[in-house]
Amino acid sequence: MAEISGDRLYDIIVVGGGIMGSCAAYEAAKLGKNVLLLEQFDLLHHLGSSHGESRTIRATYPEPYYPPMVLESFRLWETAQSAAGYRVLTPATQLDLGPADSLSLKSIIRNCSPDSLPAKEFDASADPAEVPGAFNIPGGWIAVSTAVAGIIKPTKSVAMFHSLALRHGAVLKDRAEVESIERSGGNIRISTADGRFFHGSKCVVTAGAWTRKLVKHVTGRDLPIQPLHTLIWYWKIKEGFEAEMTPASGFPTFGSYGVPFVYGTPAMEFPGLIKVALHAGWPCDPDRRDWTVGRDDAMFGGVADWIERVLPGRIETAGGPAMKQPCMYSMTPDEDFVIDFLGGEFGRDVVVAGGFSGHGFKMGPVVGRMVVEMAVEGQTATAARIGVEMGVFRMDRFEWRAKGNVKEFEEQVVSHD
Ligand SMILES: Cc1cc2nc3c(=O)[nH]c(=O)nc-3n(C[C@H](O)[C@H](O)[C@H](O)COP(=O)(O)OP(=O)(O)OC[C@H]3O[C@@H](n4cnc5c(N)ncnc54)[C@H](O)[C@@H]3O)c2cc1C
């Protein structure tokens, strides 16, 4: 191994130890690369986007490029769990529902196929006993259930990928805030806020809500990735209904399109509570968060009404949610990811993956593999194999059109500016 100025020359340095960076570190280390992962806070902190108790994995998307990525990711989750020897993913059914004229739902159904993603459709005439979770489908609504889905434990998953990466020889350093990324001869020189330097042949930047700040500092380029402060809501299940709202009883993960856009998971992490949350948030500075949990009080009513319509009589709605937890989304204008080379003087030696827009966790393993392939090979064979055209994730799409990729269906996340 070459030494530079007393420093080790790493094959790949990963900046950011959330789900994306941790999966990338594991994938690179598994390839036999010398990997360094740098995280600004303590490992497994709760200040970014990859912490907490539950994330949904579902392959239902209105965009045609996400289902193959989720299917591949599902496979990689299984492989990682086998390697670790324990589970972080609890399988479930996914139920997507909403008004029959929702363009997103229509597109989701179009993207299902008997070969890759079999789907079962329901309308308001369905007997609730036949619908997963006994959801009540309101008049004029439709629902679609799919079996490639589940609940992932986020903090446990990040810890799993850290331990798998360590097992393959990766070096993990926390309390290491990357301040600059520079060219240094043919390599990359990274400096931290506390004055340390690291050298690598390649670099992968997975800085979550800090991606815009870091990329701007390094290149001057202003990527439109807007952090949003968001809150996860847990509601109390009425006595006697607790057991039937669990994954073991077949209660699904769910997404409800239209207004309000509501998503949730079965009762699992906090017995007697169920997650029913709004896909929404408030613009924030990731370094100056106010941690407020009351700004959304005015929104309880809409979700309480949704609960009484769709899951009547089983959840206490009168007092609002029983518990709230803060988190951050990193929104792009089109809600699509940014996965691209940094370009300029860095050419293909630095890869950036950010802007996961509140739906990236499930795809951590496949994104981790793709960015490592891009860093090592200059392109991703995985994307080519699963038929995903990476152009949709390029960062220069916002230069041609401020809104980015053209979509023929509704936006999902509401930003309360
Ligand atoms: C409430 C909520 C619910 C969600 N639900 C789902 C869901 O059901 N399904 C789903 O698929 N996705 C979901 N998501 C989205 C998903 O959690 C995120 O897309 C994903 O966690 C993003 O991971 P990341 O690694 O990009 O970012 P992060 O987890 O934020 O990781 C980035 C890391 O980089 C570090 N970092 C930043 N700058 C520097 C620096 N200069 N030097 C060193 N380190 C740095 C940060 O400290 C952080 O640890 C949800 C998100 C939230 C907030």
Q: Tens digit of pLDDT for each residue in 28-41?
A: 999 999 999 999 99
**pLDDT tens digits, 88-109:** 999 999 999 999 999 999 999 9
State the pLDDT confidence band at 2, using cuts at 50, 70 and 90.
Answer: very low
Does the CB atom of residue 59 touch ligand 1 within 6 A?
no
pTM score, whole prediction: 0.97
What is the greatest pairwise CA distance in the chain? Answer: 72
Q: What is the mean pLDDT of residues 293-315?
A: 91
Res. 331: pLDDT tops 70: yes
Count CB atoms within 10 A of the CB of residue 386. 17
Banded model confidence at residue 7, pLDDT cuts 50, 70, 90: low
Q: State the pairing for strand pair 178-184/197-205.
A: unpaired
In short, whether 152's Cβ falls inside 6 Å of ligand 1 is no
Cβ–Cβ under 8 Å, residues 7 and 143? no
Mean pLDDT of 156-173: 98
Q: Which atom of ligand 1 is nearest to the CA of 45?
A: 49
Atom number in ligand 1 closest to CA 16 = 34
CA distance 46 to 209: 13
Q: What is the pLDDT of residues 57-92, one digit of tens each?
A: 999 999 999 999 999 999 999 999 999 999 999 999
CB atoms within 10 A of CB 402: 10
Q: Does the beta carbon of 92 sit less than 6 angstroms from any atom of ligand 1?
A: no
Residue nearest to atom 33 of ligand 1 (CA): 16
Q: What is the mean pLDDT of residues 157-181?
A: 98
What local confidence, expressed as pLDDT, does residue 299 receive?
84
**Residue nearest (by alpha carbon) to ligand 1 atom 35:** 16
Q: What is the pLDDT of residue 409?
A: 87
The confidence band for 4, taking pLDDT boundaries of 50, 70 and 90, is: very low
- What is the average per-residue pLDDT within 284-313? 91
- Our mutation pick for probing the ligand 1 site, out of 58, 361, 363, counting the most ligand atoms within 8 A of Cβ, is 361
Q: What is the CATH number of domain 3-49+155-224+333-415?
A: 3.50.50.60
Spacing, Cα 123 to ligand 1 middle (Å): 35
**Cβ burial, residue 19 (10 Å; 0-12/13-18/19+):** buried
Does residue 5 surpass a pLDDT of 60? no
Its sign, for the CA torsion 186, 187, 188, 189, is: negative
The 10s digit of each residue's pLDDT in 136-155 is 999 999 999 999 999 999 99
Going from N- to C-terminal start, the domains of the chain cover 3-49+155-224+333-415, 90-151+227-331
Helix, strand counts (H, E) of the chain = 9, 20
Distance 252 CA to ligand 1 centre (A): 24
Q: Is 2.40.50.100 the CATH number for 90-151+227-331?
A: no
Write the DSSP assignment of 9-68 as a string of letters: EEEEEEE--SHHHHHHHHHHHHTT--EEEE-SS-TT-SSSSS-SS-EEEE---SSTTHHH
CA-CA distance, 367 to 69, in Å (whole number)?
Answer: 8
